């Protein structure tokens, strides 16, 4: 079902000997952070996630992937393929036997990854080819984003597309020479089948190996030059005003006036864009462009929340919409989307005061708490798109989430009293949420016909219009709809659930800590801040090595809900450090517990040691040792479905400078921004989060200091006042009067700030000068938001 753009790209056939770099100059150079790709396909094909589809028959003997922890690798443990995990054993075998490496990369909830597994990797003949003529390696892209990024760069550059599954053939020295995405098992009218590709590559390796090796070396050399990001001769980053304006103009040109968002289809939430628009509004409040930026962001968030991309029954957001109306989604739910969207909707509430947005933020976190949370405080990665409509049936995409009119009418048969016509709750519900007898999913979005007669819930009318249509009060309609949603939720519990990817990633857990901390702080809900605290404790207990000061990338849910690790452990990448540091800084500002700030500083020191490019500036995505042997060591240069770790690091460095006054972190931030100057000048819309950091660096950071006791009511009132105002370029500091406290030692000027008449007192400091003392939250709000 659905558009093929999410997982598929153009298949790359064998390069001609001597073709050299011509192929590598085609196509997009951007990283595929949002997993979106250009498609070359003769027929519409579904994209999305895998349900609990069996990957084996019981009599099959497991391969060596059975010893792995990754849910994705375990899904391939019974293939008749001699799979290896990524590692030295596979590389040594390839060199010893002089065989090419077949590298297949995917993730646990990828529909087309599992289509290829069923069609090709479970095929005995194809399994023999892969085992006898290649060294076959399986990689979970969420475990090894460095491997994924390197070879996706090759696939995108040589085929003008990208996506998952990603299949690349490598020399024994790990240099790529052929790549593609999904392959059907056999030849079709317009596509070469996987078996044919394997036979051609086997033949070419035997007859033209030297040409393949030379071509591979040329392409790798060119990719290395193209992907270099460095300070070069530049001394300073570009003008924030110029880059900001260009970024806004590029977004404005692609904005969908009617439905919000910034593309025709598919449409991704892309919270980094919304965050940029809010920041742009704040610095251009009195201009037409500023008002326009605010309207674009708020309208997009409202249309998404009303659309089918939001799960109105069970809360949370699906990964993307297959149409411009936000109507029919790809039904997979990702942790990173929930985390970032909770922050986006909280910020929308800060800016607009409209409780519609705060309600959505709370709903998102309700979903995460219920469905994506480990009992020890960590957060799972994703829920799948596919599930069996009934037990024992083959999984279908969206089966868990869609409804027929008949089902709804049977669940909601009660008459509605006071309506101007005979009306049941089910009829009211189907009208409001746009359900029809024939189903509201277009055949073009359901090429396999799996969802005929089914409906995706999407809000078609406001409460006021629905109430007026039936002569009812708005609150009565609200109650009827909420009651209906609850009954559907209870009924849905009896359906087979989608597969849960219970892998836990440090990076995404860091984003989720931010989601709970920021939302809890904005809404003044300690319960949500406690979830953030528990998430941070989980990270420190289960994903942090005290001896080395390093983060681990992954941990897994074991039997009985225990927490397990791979052996050896998978160490953290740049995004793990950057996102966890951001989470800890947000948690400190929400809780005022300085231990989280101290840990953030230590992790930043480790990040600088492991990833900083002392020659070119900016951070590499992976450690030098961890990526040994890979042909490229990259710096991610795109804010997509997740922000670039370099973008987040730029913000972190600015905030840490504000919390500590340490000049070296400001210097690093300037150097990082300078290294990415050319990218920001040329295509600022590719890095909206970094453009936001550039603006913050060239403006004045506010240090908002609250002098008071953390648990005192007057202190909490001032703190809550700060959180109620949208101020992205600030640090919030609690000064409790202890001269030996961590922050007092970092910022000596705090000892000069006094409480006024023994009351909690606020100071707003900029450029080493502080405001007059303020004890009234209303006066503080006026100062912060004139």
Q: What is the CATH number of the domain that holds 769?
A: 3.40.30.10
CB 773 within 8 A of CB 716: no
pTM to 2 decimal places: 0.92
- Is 212 part of a structural domain of the chain? yes
Residue 785 has pLDDT above 90, yes or no: no
User: Do 279 and 210 fall within a single domain?
Assistant: no
CB 176 within 8 A of CB 24: no
Reference 163, options 183, 143, 177; nearest CA is 183
Residue 181 has pLDDT above 80, yes or no: yes
Final residue of a structural domain among 442, 469, 501 = 501
Quick one: average pLDDT of 187-203?
93
User: Do 179 and 321 fall within a single domain?
Assistant: no
At a CB cut-off of 8 Å and minimum separation 6, what does 513 contact? 532, 535, 536, 539, 580, 583, 584, 586, 587
DSSP annotation of 104: E
Residue 724 has pLDDT above 70, yes or no: yes
Q: Quote the domain boundaries for residue 72.
A: 64-227
Higher pLDDT, 626 or 511: 511
User: Do 267 and 161 fall within a single domain?
Assistant: no
- Mean pLDDT score of the chain, rounded to an integer? 91
- Is 202 part of a structural domain of the chain? yes
Residue 302 has pLDDT above 70, yes or no: yes
User: Do 357 and 463 fall within a single domain?
Assistant: yes
Q: What is residue 59's predicted lDDT score, i.e. its pLDDT? A: 63
User: Do 202 and 284 fall within a single domain?
Assistant: no
User: Do 213 and 86 fall within a single domain?
Assistant: yes
**CA 318 and chain centroid, separation:** 12
How many Å apart are CA 371 and CA 365, to the nearest integer? 10
Lowest mean pLDDT among 43-52, 92-101, 672-681: 43-52
User: Do 278 and 140 fall within a single domain?
Assistant: no
pLDDT tens-digit series, residues 638-682: 999 999 999 999 999 999 999 999 999 999 999 999 999 999 999
Q: What is residue 99's predicted lDDT score, i.e. its pLDDT? A: 97
User: Do 280 and 223 fall within a single domain?
Assistant: no
Reference 706, options 595, 588, 576; nearest CA is 588
Q: What is residue 114's predicted lDDT score, i.e. its pLDDT? A: 82
Q: What is residue 42's predicted lDDT score, i.e. its pLDDT? A: 25
Residue 167 has pLDDT above 60, yes or no: yes
Q: What is residue 349's predicted lDDT score, i.e. its pLDDT? A: 98
User: Do 396 and 479 fall within a single domain?
Assistant: yes
How many Å apart are CA 572 and CA 551, to the nearest integer? 5
Per-residue confidence band for 49, with pLDDT thresholds at 50, 70 and 90: very low
Measured CA to CA in angstroms, residue 379 lies from 30, 40, 376, 691, 738 at distances of: 29, 36, 9, 29, 35
pLDDT tens-digit series, residues 433-447: 999 999 999 998 887
- Is 77 part of a structural domain of the chain? yes
Q: What is residue 56's predicted lDDT score, i.e. its pLDDT? A: 45
Q: Alpha helices, DSSP H only, in 227-268?
A: 240-254
Q: What is residue 786's predicted lDDT score, i.e. its pLDDT? A: 66
Per-residue confidence band for 190, with pLDDT thresholds at 50, 70 and 90: confident
User: Do 261 and 170 fall within a single domain?
Assistant: no
Lowest mean pLDDT among 23-27, 475-479, 752-756: 23-27
- Is 578 part of a structural domain of the chain? no
Quick one: average pLDDT of 344-363?
98
Higher pLDDT, 160 or 472: 472
Percent of the chain with pLDDT over 70: 92
Percent of the chain with pLDDT over 90: 83
User: Do 90 and 144 fall within a single domain?
Assistant: yes
Measured CA to CA in angstroms, residue 786 lies from 14, 209, 781 at distances of: 63, 69, 8
Per-residue confidence band for 58, with pLDDT thresholds at 50, 70 and 90: low
Lowest mean pLDDT among 23-32, 180-189, 304-313: 23-32
Residue 17 has pLDDT above 80, yes or no: no
Beta bridge partners of 100: none
Q: What is residue 470's predicted lDDT score, i.e. its pLDDT? A: 97
Measured CA to CA in angstroms, residue 188 lies from 37, 196, 644 at distances of: 21, 11, 38
Reference 725, options 352, 293, 341, 354; nearest CA is 352
CB 733 within 8 A of CB 593: no
Phi (first) and psi of residue 86, to 5 degrees: -60, 125
Quick one: average pLDDT of 566-581?
95
How many Å apart are CA 552 and CA 342, to the nearest integer? 25
Measured CA to CA in angstroms, residue 706 lies from 105, 529, 701 at distances of: 50, 19, 16
Phi (first) and psi of residue 780, to 5 degrees: -65, -40
Final residue of a structural domain among 501, 530, 552 = 501
- DSSP run (H or E) holding 691: helix 688-698
Measured CA to CA in angstroms, residue 548 lies from 46, 621, 779 at distances of: 45, 19, 47
Beta bridge partners of 114: none
Quick one: average pLDDT of 471-487?
98
Q: What is residue 161's predicted lDDT score, i.e. its pLDDT? A: 79
Per-residue confidence band for 233, with pLDDT thresholds at 50, 70 and 90: confident
Q: What is residue 67's predicted lDDT score, i.e. its pLDDT? A: 95
Q: What is residue 559's predicted lDDT score, i.e. its pLDDT? A: 87
- Is 117 part of a structural domain of the chain? yes
CB 412 within 8 A of CB 487: yes
Q: What is residue 2's predicted lDDT score, i.e. its pLDDT? A: 37
- Is 670 part of a structural domain of the chain? no
Lowest mean pLDDT among 346-360, 386-400, 577-591: 386-400
Quick one: average pLDDT of 587-591?
98
How many Å apart are CA 365 and CA 357, to the nearest integer? 13
Final residue of a structural domain among 431, 466, 501 = 501
- Is 338 part of a structural domain of the chain? yes
* 3-state secondary structure labels for all residues of 748-774: HHHHHCCCECCECEEEEEECCEECCCE
CB 693 within 8 A of CB 669: yes
Total number of domains in the chain: 3
User: Do 218 and 264 fall within a single domain?
Assistant: no
Q: What is residue 450's predicted lDDT score, i.e. its pLDDT? A: 85
Q: What is residue 259's predicted lDDT score, i.e. its pLDDT? A: 97
- Is 94 part of a structural domain of the chain? yes
Residue 769 has pLDDT above 50, yes or no: yes
CA Rg value for the chain: 27
Residue 289, SS3 per DSSP: helix
Residue 273 has pLDDT above 50, yes or no: yes
Pairing assessment for the beta strands 320-321 and 382-383 based on DSSP bridges: unpaired
């Amino acid at each position: 079902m659905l558009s093929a753009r999410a997982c598929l790209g153009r298949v790359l056939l064998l390069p001609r000997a001597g073709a050299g770099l011509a192929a590598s100059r085609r196509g997009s150079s951007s990283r595929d952070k949002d997993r979106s790709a250009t498609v070359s396909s003769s027929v519409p094909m579904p994209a999305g996630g895998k349900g609990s589809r069996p990957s084996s028959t019981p009599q099959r003997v497991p391969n060596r992937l059975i010893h792995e922890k990754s849910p994705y690798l375990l899904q391939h443990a019974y293939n008749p393929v001699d799979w290896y995990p990524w590692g030295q054993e596979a590389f040594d075998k390839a060199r010893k036997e002089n065989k090419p490496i077949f590298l297949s990369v995917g993730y646990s909830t990828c529909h087309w990854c599992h289509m290829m597994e069923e069609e090709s990797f479970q095929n005995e003949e194809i399994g023999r080819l892969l085992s006898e003529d290649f060294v076959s390696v399986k990689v979970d892209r969420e475990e090894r984003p460095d491997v994924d990024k390197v070879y996706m760069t090759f696939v995108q550059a040589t085929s003008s597309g990208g996506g998952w599954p990603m299949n690349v053939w490598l020399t024994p020295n790990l240099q790529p020479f052929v790549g593609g995405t999904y392959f059907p098992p056999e030849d079709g009218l317009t596509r070469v089948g996987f078996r044919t590709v394997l036979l051609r590559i086997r033949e070419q390796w035997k007859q033209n190996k030297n040409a393949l090796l030379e071509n591979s070396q040329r392409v790798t050399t060119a990719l290395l030059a193209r992907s270099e990001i460095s300070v070069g001769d530049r001394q300073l980053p570009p003008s924030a005003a110029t880059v900001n304006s260009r970024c806004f103009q590029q977004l404005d040109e692609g904005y969908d006036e009617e439905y919000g968002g910034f593309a025709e289809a598919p449409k991704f939430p892309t919270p980094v864009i919304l965050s940029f628009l809010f920041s742009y509004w704040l610095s251009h409040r009195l201009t037409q462009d500023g008002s326009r930026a605010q309207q674009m962001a708020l309208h997009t968030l409202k249309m998404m929340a009303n659309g089918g991309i939001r799960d109105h029954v069970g809360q949370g957001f699906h990964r993307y919409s297959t149409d411009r109306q936000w109507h029919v989604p790809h039904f997979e739910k990702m942790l990173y989307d929930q985390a970032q969207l909770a922050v986006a909707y909280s910020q929308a509430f800060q800016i607009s005061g409209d409780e519609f947005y705060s309600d959505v933020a709370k709903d998102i976190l309700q979903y995460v708490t219920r469905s994506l949370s480990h009992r020890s405080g960590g957060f799972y990665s994703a829920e799948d798109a596919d599930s069996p409509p009934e037990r024992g049936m083959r999984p279908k995409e969206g089966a868990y989430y869609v409804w027929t009119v008949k089902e709804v009418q049977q669940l909601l048969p009660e008459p509605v009293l006071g309506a101007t016509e005979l009306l049941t709750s089910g009829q009211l519900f189907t009208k409001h949420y746009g359900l029809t007898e024939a189903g509201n999913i277009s055949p073009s979005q359901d090429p396999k016909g799996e969802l005929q007669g089914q409906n995706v819930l999407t809000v078609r009318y406001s409460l006021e219009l629905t109430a007026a249509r039936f002569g009812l009060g708005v609150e009565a309609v609200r109650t009827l709809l909420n009651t209906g949603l609850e009954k559907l939720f209870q009924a849905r519990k009896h359906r087979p659930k989608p597969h849960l990817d219970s892998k836990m990633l440090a990076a995404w857990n860091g984003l989720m800590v931010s989601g709970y901390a920021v939302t809890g702080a904005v809404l003044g809900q300690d319960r949500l801040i406690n979830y953030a605290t528990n998430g941070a404790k989980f990270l420190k207990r289960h994903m942090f090595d005290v001896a080395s000061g390093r983060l681990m990338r992954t941990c897994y849910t074991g039997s009985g809900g225990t927490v397990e690790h791979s052996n050896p452990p998978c160490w953290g990448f740049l995004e793990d450090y950057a996102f966890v540091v951001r989470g800890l800084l947000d948690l400190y500002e929400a809780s005022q517990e300085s231990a989280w700030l101290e840990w953030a500083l230590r992790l930043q020191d480790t990040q600088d040691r492991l990833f900083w490019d002392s020659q070119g500036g900016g951070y590499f995505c992976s450690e030098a040792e961890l990526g040994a042997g890979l042909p490229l060591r990259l710096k991610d240069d795109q804010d997509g479905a997740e922000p670039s770790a370099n973008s987040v690091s730029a913000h972190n460095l600015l905030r840490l400078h504000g919390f500590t006054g340490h000049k070296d972190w400001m210097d690093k931030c300037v150097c990082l921004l300078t290294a990415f100057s050319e990218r920001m000048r040329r295509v600022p819309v590719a890095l909206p989060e970094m453009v936001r950091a550039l603006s913050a660096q060239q403006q004045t950071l506010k240090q908002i200091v609250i002098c008071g006791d953390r648990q005192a009511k007057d202190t909490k009132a001032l703190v809550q006042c700060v959180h109620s105002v949208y101020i992205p370029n600030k640090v919030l500091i609690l000064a409790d009067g202890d001269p030996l406290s961590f922050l007092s030692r970092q910022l000596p000027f705090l000892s000069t700030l006094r409480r006024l008449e023994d009351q909690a007192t606020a100071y707003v400091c900029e450029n080493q000068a502080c405001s007059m003392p303020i004890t009234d939250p209303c006066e503080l709000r006026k100062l912060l938001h004139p």
